[in-house]
Structure 1
Amino acid sequence: MPISLRFYSSLIKCSRQNYSSIRKTKPKIQLESEEVREPKPVHVLRNPYPWKTKEQFVDHIAANVIYNKDGLVAINKPFGVPLMKSGLTTGHNESLFSIDEVLIPLASKLNVEKLLPAKSVERFASGISLFTCQDEKVVDKIRQCYNTNKLRKIHTFKYLVVTIGEPKPSESKRTVGMGLFEHKDLTRKLPVIMKEYSKKKVAENLVQEYKVSYKTLSHGDGPCSLVEIDVSSVKNHFLRVYFAHLFSPILGDHIFGNRVQEIKGKRLTISPVQADYLSNFQKIPADILARLKVVESGSVPNCLHLSQITLANFASRNSNLVLKAEPPPGFQFICETFGLNLPNSNE
């Protein structure tokens, strides 16, 4: 009996429905000629700690060793990494690891017996940190180098700093005194720059003197400047306090940066008491945040980088050891954003 045309029509319709169903559910095959989309890179300021495991962190630190000789190891420490972990760390704003907890695997990676801290840059700064791989003799030798620097009037530390605005004057070489400010509304003493002080106060350790020499390297095309400063010491957050005193606080200084506020378009200093009661983060102008493509001031790192350390007569009596380190990615990104030209590290 011949098959009716209605049967053929029903069969074709059923086949089309089945094929349509298969086409919707069957996974697509990636052709070799098709372009594979790369994952969107994470904003460098939103990812200050890219390492997720201790092994990755050790590899990162090992890759940032800038000197390993004569019992001395120098590391270009990343921003935000503490020498020792003071407590539990949680969230993306805290480093999961400290330098201290990876010294043993790092020593093994560098083929040295052990590593002992000698001089570390502060946690929320980046730059050269010194370690010894022998004993206290090397630490004593470093101290002798510091003393020789003082006798020869050689500044031990050179920092690169990004400031809000430009320091006035644009360059200076002087001795600066810093003392402690007391107030009934404060539970602690705050460091302040002393405009006038006596030698008696220096002798009584009421005022600490710092020898500084700074110059503005680049103005860029925005509200920030790149400054290079040589300084004899950085105790008690001297650089943070000093740049705030110059009406040009360090960008990302969430400790003393609020001592300078923009009022009716002008940058003015406010009292340490008022600044101490402001938010935990520096109040960064909105135009700076917009250009950096971040919303919160807390996302901006402290732009303070120890770029050079000079150790007089470290290797021999006739030569100085000069260690240099490039700024971290976040610092470089900020400089690029505002057209600030970093100096050549080979100079």
Structure 2
Amino acid sequence: MEMKLWVLSSFRKHCCLPCASLRHLSIAVKAKRYTKQKSKKKKETQEVLSSHEEKRIRKKLLTETEKKHTFRQLYPWKTKLEFAQHLKQSQTYYQDGLLAVNKPYGIPILGHLTDLETRQNIIQTLSSGVTPEGIPSLQDALPLLKDLYDVPHMEIIKAPERWTSGVTLLGTQPETKAKVQKSLRRSLAAQIPPLTYWAIVLGKTNPETYTGKVGMALEDVKEKGKVPVITLKYTKTAVKEALVKVNCVHHKVLVNNSETMSSLVEVKVQNKRWHFLRVWCAYNYSPILGDMLYGGRVRRVGGNPVLISPHNMTAYSPPKIFPSTLSRLGLSENTQELIPCHLHLYNICLEQYGTKKTSLNITAQPPQHFIWSCFQLGLMAEPIEEDVKEEVEMM
């Protein structure tokens, strides 16, 4: 009996030793595995933190870069007086009650939305995301300009819309406005485009040159209202009923750069109603650089430009800008909203103006950001100096 008990005890002892060892081994493995997992998790956490830190630094650097970017320097004036003084310094012509200045980009004509922008049956004008609040309008500067020029009268005769820079005609005498309007009516009757615009466009226009009449109509688009479209075929009845607006157009490419996929174009028109310039450039497969309103009407499929119907909602998404173009402009895809619309009213021709009945051409050079973009995109051999003088030509 004692022998059996000893054998049983000895058996249990020797059998339990391996089990205990296995338990200790299992605990050790689990502890090592836990330590390894904890170390890995800590390392991953550090990597995540490093990634977040890297993004924060990149965002900070990008923000600092944006603050110093040329497109951030569009509104240097701190007061209305400084703005009025800037307009006076940009004077391109002043004689016999007719004053011409160079309106900067982003300056509204009035202190409130224009008739086109408030009409519910027209697609709304998009504002720029980088435009600061409190920008003075042209109307706000008139009292100050009147004092600076020491004249009893000052009114706006003709000016480009807010998101276009260029020649702006003011009158310092009550009868000047009627003279200008009469001259513009002569151009309309003679089918001579009196307005010459310069624009930087994406791609190359097709066709490169065009001279002729172009119709523009409004189409009903679901959830968008009435949207302007180009139509080359129209009836006299449609024109008579004001369903189609006819415009005489002279269009040509001044410079093209295939490397940056951009061009500098000149477009002469009779009128600019319904955002004609923007719609026309998009219609010719070359949307204006910075045009967030109609730039989406052109997309690239297999490297070739394709027109998108205004009834397709893709046409209202932001335009796709070539990486090479963004790189030259010092921007990324996430910051392309900084790009202003590169459209400039370069010249106004007044047919048979004044007592001499001669044509008066008033020209204003593009703003510095426009010239800078031309230089960056290889559309200009060298940037024009800031003190370049605007041209005024009498013909």
Q: Which TM class, normalised by the smaller chain length?
A: 0.7 to 0.9
Question: Does structure 2 conserve the Cα–Cα contact (< 8 Å) formed by 1:47 and 1:92?
Answer: no
- The equivalent of 1:189 in structure 2 is 226
Question: Does structure 2 conserve the Cα–Cα contact (< 8 Å) formed by 1:171 and 1:213?
Answer: yes
Aligned match for 1:288, one of 325, 329, 332: 325
Aligned match for 2:297, one of 252, 259, 263: 259
Tell me by how many angstroms 1:231 deviates. 0.8
- The equivalent of 1:78 in structure 2 is 104
Tell me by how many angstroms 1:42 deviates. 2.8
Tell me by how many angstroms 1:121 deviates. 0.4
Distance 1:292 1:82, change over 3 A: same
Distance 1:67 1:303, change over 3 A: same
Distance 1:202 1:91, change over 3 A: closer
Tell me by how many angstroms 1:262 deviates. 2.0
CA distance in 2, matches of 1:90, 1:194: 28
Letter in 2 for 1:222: T
Distance 1:133 1:160, change over 3 A: same
1:273 is paired with a residue whose SS is coil
Question: Does structure 1 conserve the Cα–Cα contact (< 8 Å) formed by 2:298 and 2:315?
Answer: no
Structure 1 runs not aligned, ≥5 long: 1-39
Letter in 2 for 1:81: I
Letter in 2 for 1:258: G
Aligned match for 1:308, one of 347, 360, 363: 347
CA distance in 2, matches of 1:327, 1:85: 24
1:130 is paired with a residue whose SS is strand
Query: Aligned runs of 1:1-347 on 2, under 5 Å?
Result: 42-86=68-112, 92-94=130-132, 96-135=135-174, 137-183=175-221, 185-220=222-257, 221-275=259-313, 278-279=316-317, 281-295=318-332, 296-341=335-380
Letter in 2 for 1:285: F
Size of the aligned set, in residue pairs, is 304
Letter in 1 for 2:330: K
CA distance in 1, matches of 2:204, 2:277: 15
Offset from partner CA, 1:187-225 (integer Å, 9 cap, x none):
410010114222221122111111001111101342100
Letter in 1 for 2:227: L
CA distance in 2, matches of 1:282, 1:125: 19
Q: Which structure has greater helix proportion?
A: 2
Q: Which has the larger radius of gyration?
A: 2
CA distance in 1, matches of 2:329, 2:295: 18
Superposition TM-score, scaled by structure 1 size = 0.81
Question: Does structure 1 conserve the Cα–Cα contact (< 8 Å) formed by 2:219 and 2:229?
Answer: yes
| Identical columns (%) | 33
Letter in 2 for 1:197: Y
CA distance in 1, matches of 2:181, 2:94: 18
Superposition TM-score, scaled by structure 2 size = 0.72
Distance 1:152 1:316, change over 3 A: farther
Backbone CA RMSD of aligned residues: 2.5
2:311 is paired with a residue whose SS is helix
Question: Does structure 1 conserve the Cα–Cα contact (< 8 Å) formed by 2:70 and 2:369?
Answer: yes
Q: Which moved more, 1:89-98 or 1:323-332?
A: 89-98
Question: Does structure 1 conserve the Cα–Cα contact (< 8 Å) formed by 2:262 and 2:377?
Answer: yes
CA distance in 1, matches of 2:315, 2:273: 23
2:163 is paired with a residue whose SS is coil
Tell me by how many angstroms 1:315 deviates. 1.9
CA distance in 1, matches of 2:268, 2:130: 33
Letter in 2 for 1:99: L
Question: Does structure 2 conserve the Cα–Cα contact (< 8 Å) formed by 1:218 and 1:226?
Answer: yes
Offset from partner CA, 1:167-193 (integer Å, 9 cap, x none):
11111111111111113x234100101
- Which stretches of structure 1, 4 residues or more, deviate above 6 A after TM superposition? 342-345
Question: Does structure 2 conserve the Cα–Cα contact (< 8 Å) formed by 1:71 and 1:133?
Answer: yes
Offset from partner CA, 1:151-171 (integer Å, 9 cap, x none):
344321001111101111111
1:189 is paired with a residue whose SS is strand
Offset from partner CA, 1:101-150 (integer Å, 9 cap, x none):
12111111122223111111000010011111121x22111111012123
Letter in 2 for 1:144: K
Distance 1:275 1:91, change over 3 A: closer
